[in-house]
Structure 1
Amino acid sequence: MPQRPKRLTPSRGPLDLFGSEVRRYREMASLSLAQLADQIPFSASTIGEIERGESGCDRVFAEQCDRVLDTREALAHLHDGLFDGRSAAFPEHFADWPDYESQAETMRAYEPLVIDGLLQTPSYAEVLLYGDQKAVQGRLTRQAILARDEPAPPRLIYILPERVLRSRVGTSEVMYDQLHRIADAVSPRLSVQVIPDGAPHPGNLGAFRIATLPGNSRIAYTSSEPQGKILDGASDIERLHERFADIATYALPAELSVGLIREIADEVWKP
């Protein structure tokens, strides 16, 4: 017996809404997943994931479906309105986070393994993202909030362990430029604090960030395997806020942290 299609709730979010419209137009055209896959450069399994709201897609997918399903560009138009190009740049579990970043008045970020995405150089990001240029561009586009004039950039408080500064990503030149990029970014609205090697701290449970939005509401993103997730529960966010405060007690003051970053850049990574 064929598996019953997953029931979609378009109001749950943009992926469900877009997927429901793809399914609606496909069924109006009396095409199965396999029949549609025969006419566009996407597999039936990929189309199914998109229809179920389990995966994002490039605008190209919408354009191809429009062509075959004779939608008069309805899906491409919907894709533009829902995703603004983001779905190709970010994984599903992260796709909504840039919107929260853009609204944030204050952000607290702790990243124990690599440099935070908002401060990565293009070369550093390209190594981490295996050369995926759409993903790299998406990450760099997020950084625009730190340089905007209106509204004011969010206040960013960033903490990282010293070992991140000593862990090679790419070439020595990539690391050298990246560390000086962090040090140069420090300003009254952006602080960076380093936890010295050897200092025990409660920050070994993974990366997370907390955004304080207008009206003093808060939302958080946590990194975990196999994928991160966005949290909006008050108790979860309060626990993360307390953990961030605890981690901060082990970090050097911002001025000393900048000095350490430049010292490691010149002593360890200078080409």
Structure 2
Amino acid sequence: MNRRNATGGTAATTAAVFGEVLKHHREAAGLTQEALAHKVPCDRSHVARVEAGTRVPQDTFAKACDELLDAGGMLLRLWARIDWYPEAEHPDWFERRAELDAEAVTLREYQAQVMPGLLQTEEYAWALFSSIASDDEVEKLVRARLSRQQRFLAPGGPLYVAVLDESCLRNAVGSAAVMRSQCAHLLEVGQRSNMRIQVAPAALSGLIRPKTSMSLITLPDGDQWVYSESLDRGHLNDDPTVYARHGQTYDVLRADALSARDSAALISDVMEGYGDHGQTRPQRGDLDKEQLQRRQRRQLHRSGAHLDEEQLQRPRRRQLHRSSPRYPRPRPRT
């Protein structure tokens, strides 16, 4: 099944055209591929492949290049018009769901165990499918999965709200670097005006969670669908009674889950737990101090309190003052 264009019509341009326009603006700015890659930042090979039309860039890459090359929004608008995955094919049982994604005006999801397909990075999707398919099949599956995301990531995309069970963050798929990048992606897309990401923490008692991952889909004509999966099978139901029941469960869960802001704080903590890829991990004592400082910052943020730099330094100065040689400790009595 060929995916519909992000604007709902025939593809107005191609990946090769985007690459040519990118190259034109890069050369006009007097930058090499390596120099542009350093500023984005990304690998030089990524810039080369995008310019050659053989690599699909994310919208964040298009936006960064547009700003760095002073393209006046041209690259970002061009990115949104391109049908990056004209030959993406979904499994037969998933075709109808993909068609609904291409039309939906609102999509609300609850997901457990693994990240929702609409939020997965390319590396996460590769790691997920690599355990069940050959390399050729994995490439097709990843392309099909990423093809669904473009419409929601484009400017003015449909409303997308995801409530993630904490298990999505804790269940490592691929390497620690893959998970760290995935968490960073959640933080980035969660800042978009049409996307909200909340977490249902494992330690929060009393949460009423759906028995399975599910999606609540609203179409332009007002039709509403409930979608769920079971072992390589998709289930769609447009019964208003069924939708109302699952919709109520979802709304209650979302109200009781962490807010989008507090969810971002939890995602940040989990991301730090996966470590800085290629960097030295902090010592245990430093890590304890960092975790305490993060908790204090979150508590201050939630209460609306604010400490300036002067106030933050006072405890440290008092500590240094007390340990100063000018104030020696009294000698023990003999």
TM class, shorter-length: 0.5 to 0.7
Number of matched pairs: 184
Tell me how far apart the structure 2 counterparts of residues 204 and 210 of structure 1 sit (CA, whole Å).
12
- SS of equivalent to 2:90: coil
Tell me how far 1:204 sits from its aligned partner: 4.7
Equivalent in 212, 220, 234 of residue 206 of structure 1 = 212
Given that residues 193 and 254 in structure 1 are in contact (C-alpha distance below 8 angstroms), is that contact kept between their aligned partners in structure 2?
A: yes
Task: Give distance in 2, aligned partners of 1:225 and 1:153.
Answer: 30
1:232 match = 238
Q: Structure 2 CA distance, aligned partners of 1:269 and 1:232?
A: 44
Q: 1:197 pairs with 189, 194, 202, which one?
A: 202
Indicate if the aligned counterparts of 2:94 and 2:234 stay in contact, CA closer than 8 A: yes
Say whether the 8 Å CA contact 1:120–1:178 is kept in structure 2. yes
Structure 1 counterpart SS, 2:112: coil
Deviates more, 1:89-98 or 1:166-175: 89-98
TM-score, scaled relative to structure 1: 0.64
How far apart in 2 are the matches of 1:105 and 1:213?
6
The structural deviation recorded for 1:185 is: 0.5
Query: Could you say which residue in structure 2 is the equivalent of 1:129?
Result: 129
Residue 221 of structure 1 corresponds to: 227
2:156 maps to 1:142: no
- Equivalent positions of 1:259-270 (< 5 A) are 259-270=265-276
Partners of 2:180 and 2:109 lie apart in 1 by 22
- Structure 1 match to 2:57: none
| Matching of residues 5-24 of structure 1 within 5 Å | none
Q: Does 1:96 align with 2:96?
A: yes
Q: Are residues 120 and 235 of structure 1, via their aligned partners in 2, closer, same or farther at CA, if it must alter by over 3 Å?
A: same
- Are 2:186 and 1:164 equivalent residues in the alignment? no
Moved over 4 A (4+): none
**Deviation per CA, 1:203-255, whole angstroms, max 9, x where unpaired?**
25111101111132211211223522111121221121111112213310101
Counterpart secondary structure, 2:236: strand
User: Do the aligned residues in 1 keep the contact of 2:210 with 2:249 (CA within 8 Å)?
Assistant: no
The answer (yes or no) to whether the contact 2:210–2:250 under 8 Å persists in 1 is no
TM-score for both structures, normalised by structure 2: 0.52
Hey, what's the Cα distance between the residues in 1 that align with 2:199 and 2:271?
Answer: 14
Percent of matched pairs sharing the same residue: 26
The offset of 1:269, in angstroms, is 4.1
SS of 2:114's partner is coil
Which 5+ residue runs of structure 1 have no aligned equivalent? 1-83
SS at match of 1:129: helix
Task: Give the distance between the partners of 2:150 and 2:232, measured in 1 at CA.
Answer: 28
Answer whether contact 2:217 2:226 (CA < 8 A) is retained.
yes
Alignment root-mean-square deviation, CA: 1.7
Q: Which amino acid aligns with 1:143?
A: Q
93-102 or 169-178, which deviates more: 93-102
Contact 1:112 1:204 in 2 (8 A): no
C-alpha contact (below 8 Å) 1:112/1:203 kept by paired residues: no
Report the Cα distance in structure 1 between the residues aligned to 2:261 and 2:93, rounded to whole angstroms. 35
CA distance in 2, matches of 1:95, 1:129: 18
3-state SS in 1 of match to 2:221: helix
Q: Quick one: distance in 2 between partners of 1:135 and 1:177?
A: 20
Q: Is the CA contact (8 Å cut-off) linking 2:114 and 2:167 kept in structure 1? A: no
User: How many Å separate the matches in 1 of 2:98 and 2:232?
Assistant: 20
The residue type equivalent to 1:217 in the other structure is D
Hey, what does 2:300 align to over in structure 1? none
Q: Tell me: CA distance 1:204–1:244, structure 2 relative to 1, closer, same or farther (3 Å).
A: closer
Check conservation: 2:227, 2:234, Cα contact below 8 A: yes
Between 1:133-142 and 1:89-98, the stretch displaced more is 89-98
AA aligned to 2:98 is P
Whole-angstrom distance in 1 between the partners of 2:193 and 2:232: 36
